[in-house]
């Protein structure tokens, strides 16, 4: 199965991705994780991406498109994969369609985790307070000003993917405001449906 998890920052994509990986045995392809690994390793891509990521903006479509195209060639992706954080622009969605078509593969479903912005900001404040209480270090982009920029980027650049995938008949929307287990149960119902 080839699945895209779509949703604003802080909607719980990472948490739900972990659940899907565990239950369905597909690898999770998170472009955010891949880019952070490139930054940590100091690769040329990492050097280019760092400032953009810290500012909450989007890395170029060419860079993330190339990273994903290379990654889905790996053997562990032969039976399917879960995309988390990609595509994030219409250009990336078109790139994904083109790369899958080239390989004779097809996207099964796009699951949108829907959470409104007020709730996302509340969640961020809780997360920051908890991290501070534990004395841990935060992700560079984990502060309210940058988070609000990331929300705006989602609204402007990524939300247009919702009608895009709706038109393709691939979109399923899940209410992401509920407890983690309730959201996971909805995802299971969708994914069991496409496997059957
Ligand atoms: P994430 O962990 O998915 O929230 O991604 C963290 C940051 O990595 C984002 O704020 C972007 O700067 C960058 N990034 C991740 N995925 C993409 C993508 N598909 N397109 C552009 N930038 C991305």
Reading the block at residue 171, the tokens are 């979109």
Q: What is the mean pLDDT of residues 94-100?
A: 97
Rounded CA separation 65/162 (Å)? 19
**Which H or E run includes 164?**
helix 161-167
50 C-alpha to ligand 1 centroid (Å): 11
Reading the block at residue 76, the tokens are 């562990």
pLDDT band at residue 194 using 50, 70 and 90 as cut-offs = confident
Angular region, 131: left φ>0, alpha ψ -120 to 50, beta rest:
alpha
Reading the block at residue 90, the tokens are 């219409």
Model confidence pLDDT, tens digit, residues 2-48: 999 999 999 999 999 999 999 999 999 999 999 999 999 999 999 99
Q: For the chain, what's the residue count?
A: 196
Q: Which residues line ligand 1 (CB under 6 A)?
A: 9, 31-32, 35, 52-53, 56-59, 64, 85-86, 88, 92, 141, 150
Nearest to 121 by CA among 7, 5, 8, 6: 8
pTM over 0.85: yes
């Amino acid at each position: 199965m080839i699945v895209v998890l779509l949703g604003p920052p802080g909607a719980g994509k990472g948490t739900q991705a972990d659940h899907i990986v565990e239950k369905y045995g597909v690898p999770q392809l998170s472009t955010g994780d891949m880019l952070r690994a490139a930054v940590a390793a100091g690769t040329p891509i990492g050097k280019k991406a760092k400032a953009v990521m810290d500012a909450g903006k989007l890395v170029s479509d060419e860079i993330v498109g190339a990273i994903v195209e290379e990654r889905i060639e790996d053997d562990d992706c032969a039976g399917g994969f879960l995309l988390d954080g990609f595509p994030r622009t219409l250009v990336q969605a078109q790139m994904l369609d083109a790369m899958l078509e080239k390989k004779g593969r097809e996207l099964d479903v796009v699951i949108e985790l829907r959470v409104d912005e007020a709730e996302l900001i509340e969640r961020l404040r809780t997360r920051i307070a908890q991290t501070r209480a534990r004395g841990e270090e935060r992700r560079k982009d984990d502060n309210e000003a940058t988070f609000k920029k990331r929300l705006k980027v989602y609204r402007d650049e990524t939300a247009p993917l919702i009608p895009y995938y709706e038109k393709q008949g691939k979109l399923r929307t899940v209410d992401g405001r509920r407890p983690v287990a309730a959201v996971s149960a909805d995802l299971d119902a969708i994914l069991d449906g496409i496997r059957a």
